[in-house]
Amino acid sequence: MMNCLEKLNISLICCRALYLLPMPRTRDWFKASINRFRERSTTTPIRGGGYYTTVGRLVPIRTVMLEVNGVKREQL
């Protein structure tokens, strides 16, 4: 089942900024652009031993703002 998300909010605490990303426009842009961005992974320990791995892409917010129409930035 596809999620009917209209907007994705990303908060960057270090910059005290909130970015509002329009969906599905941002998702479509990302799918078409995915190979431009480096894949990275990180691990998180689990209580009681073990860990899980998260994999994602490093996408500069400036790139998103320049290439996706409708992205909004709110100062926190």
- Tens digits of per-residue pLDDT, 10-30? 666 677 888 889 999 999 999
Structure tokens at 66: 């320049």
User: Residue 17 has what pLDDT?
Assistant: 84
Q: Which residue has the tokens 């426009």?
A: 25
The model's pTM is: 0.74
Residue 2 pLDDT > 60: no
Q: Looking at residue 36, what DSSP letter applies?
A: G
